[in-house]
Amino acid sequence: MKVDVLLGLQWGDEGKGKVVDVLTPGYDIVTRFQGGPNAGHTLEFEGQKYVLRSIPSGIFQGGKTNIIGNGVVLDPILFRQEAESLAASGHDLTKQLCISKKAHLIMPTHRVLDAAYEAAKGAAKIGTTGKGIGPTYTDKVSRNGLRVGDILHHFDEKYAQAKKKHEIILSGLKYEYDIVALEKEWFEALEYLKRFRLIDSEHVLNNFLKEGKSVLAEGAQGTMLDVDFGSYPFVTSSNTVCAGACTGLGIAPRNIGEVYGIFKAYCTRVGAGPFPTELFDETGEKLCKLGHEFGAVTGRKRRCGWIDLVALKYAVMINGVSQLIMMKSDVLDDFDTIKACVAYKINGQETEEFPFDISEGVEPVYIEMPGWKTDMTRMTSEDEFPEEFNAYVNFLEEELGVPVKIVSVGPDREQTIIRYED
């Protein structure tokens, strides 16, 4: 069997958590391959709402194995909070959830460094989630990181050495901080982590594949936040694209199967950085209001705009998307007309190719289509779709060259319509 990958094609928050939960019954294993608690993946079912940060979104579907892969960065404190709150609601994960020994640990000083770097950037700040993501991946690449497997051997020495390097940087930045309480909580949380199976996940996953088991890899963030292909430097610090599933899990490229690319019927972004189709008018406010566009983790207001097909085509290309999933279609239920950006005008020239830099002088070129003005939230089959909605989906499929397999019409697990069966 192969690993199917589900990933975001925009700037994150596309609805990955919801769809992973919906698709999980068709898989034996669900695994996260990058990112960390900067993610906030929301799931809703049976009147309950859950937000997952580091734990894969497959944990609510009948005892499937869930794995936090080597490409993830893990904050033991936030992980403990997440796992304990799930346990309190009746979901004890200790048997179901495994963690790669090669996943890197977010230290208390990584969180401080994240804040210190943002403060040093001043107006040019990225607007990170403040979870220490960038500094942890920096330490991984510069070979100063601590891994989950390290907690089993001579950990105190390794910790002290890593912390010392951070202290030198922070003193150079003249950044005041106090982590005494946080550090105590962090070490207690490390002990808690030992309740879970700490595994060599690359071996475990490849053995599962050999046994004929199916794996769904859950991305975090989105392609436009990828450290190589996103709107650099306003990106996260990992490879959010499909290739990240290979390095973040130890899976060979030829063992990647379907690539599910997920996008909102419009577009949002949280944090700083360019966003060509952003709307600053009442239409943007309407999208924000109807879409409840506030960050799942930070509560920050998400910036809203029309769908950007230049960026989406680029994301489809980079990821080799084989099936598309359109989310939050219902948010457009009450618009007279809907716009889609089909090209950028740069220095008077139109292009459909995503350029090196989108930070200045990019003017979106729109086409406008009639809205469907119909409540789609109770629909259960594509036979009920209004004509104008079908026209919108057909147009997107034609532009992107990939079929839209799933349409989501509300936050609940049940509000999901599969357009065709394989």
41 given a catalytic annotation: yes
Q: How far is the CB of 144 from ligand IMO (least distance, A)?
A: 18
331 binds, among ligand GDP, Mg ion, ligand IMO, none (CB under 5 to 8 A by kind): ligand GDP
> Given the rule CB under 6 A, which of 220-228, 246-254, 391-399, 414-422 is the region that contacts ligand IMO?
220-228
Applying CB under 6 A, does 271 fall inside the site for ligand IMO? yes
Sequence-ordered alpha helix ranges (H) in 59-179: 76-88, 108-121, 133-141, 155-172
Phi, psi of 230 (to 5 degrees): -80, -170
- The tokens for 94 are 């200790």
Structure-token match 């207001």, residue found: 301
97 binds, among ligand GDP, Mg ion, ligand IMO, none (CB under 5 to 8 A by kind): none
Rounded CA-CA distance 167/234 in Å is 26
Rounded CA-CA distance 118/38 in Å is 15
166 given a catalytic annotation: no
Q: 56 near 67, Cβ under 8 Å?
A: yes
Buried b (16+ CB within 10 A) or exposed e, 33-70: bbbbbbbbbbbbbeeeebebbbbbbbbbbeebbbbbbb
> Given the rule CB under 5 A, which of 153-161, 244-252, 296-304, 336-344 is the region that contacts Mg ion?
296-304
Rounded CA-CA distance 173/53 in Å is 30
411 binds, among ligand IMO, Mg ion, ligand GDP, none (CB under 5 to 8 A by kind): ligand GDP
Q: Which positions ≥6 away from 329 have C-beta within 8 Å?
A: 265, 376, 389, 407, 408, 409
27 binds, among ligand IMO, ligand GDP, Mg ion, none (CB under 5 to 8 A by kind): none
Applying CB under 6 A, does 330 fall inside the site for ligand GDP? yes
User: Catalytic one among 13, 21, 75, 330?
Assistant: 13
User: Catalytic one among 41, 104, 110, 166?
Assistant: 41
Applying CB under 6 A, does 40 fall inside the site for ligand GDP? yes
Applying CB under 6 A, does 225 fall inside the site for ligand IMO? yes
Q: Give the binding site for ligand IMO (CB under 6 A).
A: 8, 11-13, 35, 38-41, 126-129, 131, 133-134, 220-222, 225, 236-237, 270-271
Q: Which residues are marked as active site?
A: 13, 41
